[in-house]
Amino acid sequence: MRSVLAGAGGFLPGRVVTNDEMAAVVDTSDAWIRDRTGIHQRYRAEGAETTTSMAVAAARKALDAAGASPDDVDLIIVGTSTPDQAFPSVAVRVQAALGIQKGFGFDVSAACAGFVYALSIADEMIRAGRARGALVIGAEVFSRILDYTDRGTCVLFGDGAGAVFLRAEASEGEQGILSTHLHAQGALGDILYVDGAIGVADSAGQPLPGKLHMNGREVFRHAVQRLSESVDEALAHNNLDRGAVDWLVPHQANIRIIEGMGRKLGLAPERVVITVDRHANTSAASIPLALAEAMGDGRIKRGQLVLMEALGGGLVWGSALVRI
């Protein structure tokens, strides 16, 4: 059995926050943000918009794109670092909202690599016969864990959700997920982390605020090295050279990293899907959002080979090679 990526969908909140708006609350400027990150704007969840509500909206679009219904789903995996509750998981909240009556679901916490991790797990379960239809979702509300006095982090992130529907198919060809590759290096956890969690308090017994902290220079350095290794690993595993890749759909963290990976693969700029300018870094949601956009507008076509890669706090990173 192969896990065929049958459809993708994305959802973005209604509120657009420009760089100029960010400059009104923190010491920065539109030029500073654009030059260093490529980000022009980001979306922010407000009011009743939650990780779950965005995940549900993206999942519905993915099912529609795949010509599938909730009855076809027996597995839901959500990659998120910003769940609405400690439990129940976002996945089972999505299950309830979509009226799915069977199967099982759970969340995966792997920061910005959460979607790649979730995709890998779903693929293994389909290959093992544990599921025949899987929703794999990345959904985040990072705007609610940002320190708005830290210009080095608060300008980088946005909110949103993306989803794909995987269908189990007996395939003698190459369509579907060819391979996934996951890695972690916990010794580097302190270069990108959130300083709070459920049940964690400071020395006075007060709950920690749970704000994101990042050593940007170190994260950038490791991202370039680890993502490069992960790309080479995926190609070598499938006995493919770089010229075989039709599209790179990377995690949308920084335009310099994205363009560097495109050059490494020898891909023309128009073969690299870029949304960081409009979406900013939506963590686990960034790859499925970019994929949904490029499949929806017809850039990515059936039969083409797509390489996805991401790195996030942990450090965790990984790649996936998919024949659409």
Report the catalytic residues: 112, 251, 281
| Residues whose CB is less than 8 angstroms from the CB of residue 201 and which lie 6 or more positions away in sequence, other chains included | 207, 208
Pair 303, 129: CB distance under 8 Å? no
Taking Cα atoms as reference points, which of 137, 158, 143, 167 lies closest to residue 40?
158
Pair 143, 15: CB distance under 8 Å? no
For residue 253, the one-letter residue type is A
Own/partner contacts of 33-38, CB < 8 Å, gap of 24 or more, are: 33/155, 36/254, 37/155, 37/156, 37/254, 37/255, 37/276, 37/280, 38/254, 38/255, 38/256, 38/258, 38/274, 38/276, 38/277
Which two structure tokens, joined as six digits, stand for 240? 């493919």
Taking Cα atoms as reference points, which of 173, 161, 153, 111 lies closest to residue 136?
161
Start-to-end Cα distance in the chain: 15
